[in-house]
Amino acid sequence: MTAALGAVLLALAAYVIQGTVHTTRATEQQSHVLKIDALFSETRIAIAMEEVNLRHYQIEPSVAVKQRFDQVGKSADDLLAELAATGPGQTREDALRLRAEHDDFHALAERQMTLIAESDSTHIRLDRLEVTPAFYILQDDIDEVSRTVHEAAQKQVEQLRLTQLRLLIGIVVGFGVGLTLAAIVLRIVLGHQRRLVEQAEASRQQALHDPLTGLANRTLFASRTKVALAGLLPGGDRHVALMIVDLNGFKAVNDTLGHHAGDQVLQEAGRRLSDAVGADGVVARLGGDEFAVLLPRVATVSAARETAGQLVEELRRDFLLDGRPAAVSGSLGLAFGLMHGTGEDELLRHADAAMYRAKANGGGVEVYDVDTDTEMPERMQLFAELRTLLETGDPAAQLQLHYQPQVRLSDGAATSVEALVRWQHPERGLLPPATFLPIAEQRGLEVRLTYHLLGEAVRQGARWLAEGLPYAVAVNVSPRCLIDPDFTAVILAALRDAGLPPHLLRLELTETSIMADPDRAVSAIREVREHGISVSVDDFGTGFSSLVQLRLVPADELKIDRTFVRDLGSDLSGTTPDAVMVRSAIDLGHNLGLSVVAEGVEDLDALRSLRAMNCDYAQGFALSRPVPADQVADACARAQSIVTNLITSITAPA
pLDDT tens, 285-343?
Answer: 988 889 999 999 888 889 999 999 999 999 988 888 877 777 788 999 999 988 888 88
Q: What angle in degrees, to the nearest 10, is found between the helix axes of 433-442 and 446-466?
A: 130
SS (H, E, C) 391-443: HHCCCCCCEEEEEEEEEECCCCCEEEEEEEEEEEECCCEEECHHHHHHHHHHC
The reply to whether 539 and 609 lie within a common domain is yes
Type of residue numbered 163? T
Q: Is 471 inside a domain boundary?
A: yes
Which are the contacts of 531, defined by CB distance < 8 A and separation ≥ 6?
488, 492, 502
The reply to whether 66 and 179 lie within a common domain is yes
pLDDT band at 200 (very low <50, low <70, confident <90, very high): low
Residue that finishes a domain, picked among 354, 372, 390: 372
Residue that finishes a domain, picked among 323, 338, 372: 372
Say whether pLDDT at 182 is over 60.
no
Query: Residue ranges of the alpha helices (H) in 443-574?
Result: 446-466, 487-498, 511-516, 518-529, 547-552, 562-565
Q: How many CB atoms lie within 10 A of CB 313?
A: 13
**Whether the Cβ atoms of residue 598 and residue 397 lie closer than 8 Å to each other:** no
Q: Is 165 inside a domain boundary?
A: yes
Would you state the pLDDT for residue 442?
66
Would you state the pLDDT for residue 578?
84
Q: Is 377 inside a domain boundary?
A: no
Sheet architecture: strand order including 239-248: 282-287, 290-298, 239-248, 329-336, 364-367
Cα–Cα distance for residue pair 119/378, rounded to 1 Å: 10
The reply to whether 135 and 176 lie within a common domain is yes
The reply to whether 156 and 300 lie within a common domain is no
Cα–Cα distance for residue pair 533/447, rounded to 1 Å: 19
Residue that finishes a domain, picked among 160, 183, 206: 183
Cα–Cα distance for residue pair 292/463, rounded to 1 Å: 50
Q: Is 334 inside a domain boundary?
A: yes
**Whether the Cβ atoms of residue 476 and residue 419 lie closer than 8 Å to each other:** yes
Would you state the pLDDT for residue 41?
80
Say whether pLDDT at 175 is over 70.
no
Cα–Cα distance for residue pair 23/193, rounded to 1 Å: 8
The reply to whether 24 and 163 lie within a common domain is yes
Q: Is 391 inside a domain boundary?
A: no
Would you state the pLDDT for residue 548?
56
The reply to whether 450 and 486 lie within a common domain is yes
Q: The CATH number of the domain where 134 resides is what?
A: 1.20.120.1730
- Helix or strand or coil: residue 298? strand
**Angle, CA 251 vertex, CA 250 and CA 255 arms, to 5°:** 120
Q: Is 485 inside a domain boundary?
A: yes
Q: Is 339 inside a domain boundary?
A: yes
State the total domains in the chain. 3
Would you state the pLDDT for residue 82?
81
Backbone phi and psi for residue 15, each to the nearest 5 degrees, phi listed first: -65, -45
The reply to whether 423 and 481 lie within a common domain is yes
Q: How many CB atoms lie within 10 A of CB 329?
A: 17
Q: The CATH number of the domain where 303 resides is what?
A: 3.30.70.270
Please tell me the least confidently modeled range out of 378-382, 537-541, 542-546, 633-637. Answer: 542-546
Please tell me the least confidently modeled range out of 6-10, 144-148, 297-301, 582-586. Answer: 6-10
The reply to whether 425 and 474 lie within a common domain is yes
The reply to whether 441 and 527 lie within a common domain is yes
Tell me the CA distances in angstroms from 643 to 69, 532, 582, 611, 637, one per residue in order.
Answer: 60, 29, 19, 10, 10
The reply to whether 456 and 318 lie within a common domain is no
**Higher local confidence (pLDDT), 266 or 379:** 266
The reply to whether 441 and 561 lie within a common domain is yes
Would you state the pLDDT for residue 332?
94
Q: Is 199 inside a domain boundary?
A: no
The reply to whether 14 and 127 lie within a common domain is yes
Q: The CATH number of the domain where 404 resides is what?
A: 3.20.20.450
Q: Which domain holds residue 73?
A: 1-183
Q: How many CB atoms lie within 10 A of CB 288?
A: 12
Bridge partners for 244 per DSSP: 292, 333
Q: What is the pLDDT of residues 444-453, one digit of tens each?
A: 788 899 999 9
